[in-house]
Amino acid sequence: MRSLNDCKLYVITGENYHKGRDLLEVMEAAIRGGADIVQLRDKDAAGPELLEKARALRELTRRLGALFIVNDHPEIALAAEADGVHLGQEDLPIEAARALVGPDRLIGISTHSIGQARAAERAGADYIGVGPVYPTGTKPGRPAVGTGYVAEAAEEIRIPFFAIGGIHPGNAEEVLAAGARRLCAVSAVVGSPDPAAVCRELRALIERAQLSAPLPRTGGGRLAKTVVVNGRAETTDADTLQELAASFRFGEKLVVAERNGEVVPRADWTSTPVGEGDRIEFVHFVGGG
């Protein structure tokens, strides 16, 4: 399965933007264009209808190798074998959702301020949405938070965040310049007659931003590096094992960490550097007897 850490472009369904065209057709185009994580959001459908859509999207994303998230409904996420569930600030608390979906499924949450972002990271969210950066028809009535919040999140938040809200190829560079490295789009993609082309454009902008400059986030010149975590190559800007653990949601868990073949005592995580090419494993402590 694709790792969340690899995901750069998040596309959410919005069937009202493509009346007359099939949901699966539009989403397949988006994925083929470069969306690597997609979310089913449908405030009108419920129960069997929603589950049917979820199952169809699950099959599509599995076939094309994208992650699949269900908005609002942990039970649908479970029944459709989605990779995770996305919550709003007014939905189920993260802890409650975690109890439902278990430790392995992803939980994402929309945040609109750095305070909400911190709370989400603490509560064990796997990723957050940061926005709305610009006013958007998808969320009418919610004031835009601007790129200022994107910069704050880039500075402080260690779990992956996706900038969202009114983002399209015309303003994406501004969002990336504020420090975003992952974008989410709805109407710009699914409302376009050529979703694949829009995704290709957005993806190219993200990749260019990544290449052009180290992340602008810290004064200390934090550099992205590639490390192997639990057997997978991952890009991270964590400087220490503690930061790396936090970005994988292991920060508060009872896990044993190993770096390049040697166990690292828990108390040394904050002083253990993470360098390019390091091989790191986190395993849950096994405690039954």
Partner 1 sequence: MLEPAEMEERYSRQIRFAPIGIEGQLRLRDSAVLIVGVGALGSSLAQQMTRAGVGIVRLADRDYVEPSNLQRQSLFDEEDARAAQPKAVAAAAKLRRINGAVRAEPFVTEVNANTVGALLNGVQLVLDGTDNVRTRVALSDACFARGVPLLYGGVTGSEAMSAALVPGETACLRCLIGGDEAAEPEQTCDTAGVIYPAVELAAALQAAEALKWLSGNRSALRRTWLTADVWHFRLREWTLPEGRANCPFCGGGVRKLSGWDKPFAAGGRDGPAAALVGGKRAAVDGDKLRAAGGTENPAVPREAGGAGAAAEERPPRPAQRDADAPGNSHAGEPEATVLCGRDSIQVTTGRALSLEESETRLLARGCVVTARNPYLVRAVSPEGERLVLFEDGRVLVQGTSDPERAVRLCRMYVAAQPERKSDNGGEADAELERL
The residues carrying an active-site annotation are 41, 110, 139
Nearer to partner 1, 149 or 250 (CB): 250
Would you count residue 63 as binding partner 1 (CB under 8 A)? Answer: no
Reading the block at residue 57, the tokens are 């999207």
- Scanning 53-61, 115-123, 189-197, 281-289 for contacts with partner 1 by CB under 8 A, the matching segment is 281-289
Would you count residue 286 as binding partner 1 (CB under 8 A)? Answer: yes
Site string for partner 1, 203-242 (x = CB under 8 A): ----------------------------------------
DSSP 156: H
Buried b (16+ CB within 10 A) or exposed e, 6-16: ebbbbbbbbbe
Site string for partner 1, 84-123 (x = CB under 8 A): -------------------x--------------------
* Alpha-helical regions (H) of 83-217: 94-101, 114-122, 146-156, 172-177, 187-190, 195-212
Would you count residue 1 as binding partner 1 (CB under 8 A)? Answer: no
User: Could you write out the DSSP letters of every residue in 204-218?
Assistant: HHHHHHHHHSS-S--
- Scanning 10-18, 55-63, 125-133, 277-285 for contacts with partner 1 by CB under 8 A, the matching segment is 277-285
Q: Round to whole Å and give the CA distance between 272 and 7.
A: 27
Strand pairing class (183-185; 106-111): unpaired
How far are the Cα atoms of 74, 84, 138, 246, 260 from residue 236, in angstroms, in the given order? 29, 22, 31, 11, 17
- Scanning 126-134, 137-145, 213-221, 257-265 for contacts with partner 1 by CB under 8 A, the matching segment is 257-265
Nearer to partner 1, 55 or 266 (CB): 266
Reading the block at residue 75, the tokens are 């039970």
- Within positions 25 to 54, which residues make up the interface with partner 1, using CB under 8 A? none
Would you count residue 289 as binding partner 1 (CB under 8 A)? Answer: yes
Q: How far is the CB of 253 from partner 1 (least distance, A)?
A: 7
Residues that bind partner 1 (CB under 8 A): 103, 252-254, 256, 258, 261-268, 281, 283-289
